[in-house]
Amino acid sequence: MTNSFELDDDGNGEHADVVVCVRLTSPLLMPDNVIDICSQCGEAIQHRPHVPKQPRKMCWECIEPLALKMAHKGTLHTILTSEVAEDLLAYERKKSAH
């Protein structure tokens, strides 16, 4: 198999296995982020308010070993919603402007 990437404009993210999140920071990385709990380790996490609702939410620290194994096997499929892509772009532009 081959690793793959998908930009999701059609709501396919609801069929994902996991939403990868960032551990809680203070202040939040984006002021409207949602605070949640990692389904794997129970640590506080944050994610964008419009991430898919169905998949479990996991912090990067928990998902990284699995993602690396899957990438090595060529079985990693990554989905990025258009809303998150736009948020990331705006965040990077704002960060680089300072």
User: What does the domain layout of the chain look like in residue ranges?
Assistant: 4-97
Query: In angstroms, what is the C-alpha Rg of the chain?
Result: 14
CA-nearest of 30, 15, 27, 20 to 86 is 30
Q: Consecutive sets of 10 residues in the chain, 98 residues long: mean pLDDT of each?
A: 86 86 96 97 96 95 96 94 88 86
pLDDT at 15: 85
The continuous run of DSSP H or E covering 90 comes out as helix 82-97
Q: What is the pTM of this model?
A: 0.84
The 3-state DSSP class for residue 7 equals strand
Length of the chain (residues): 98
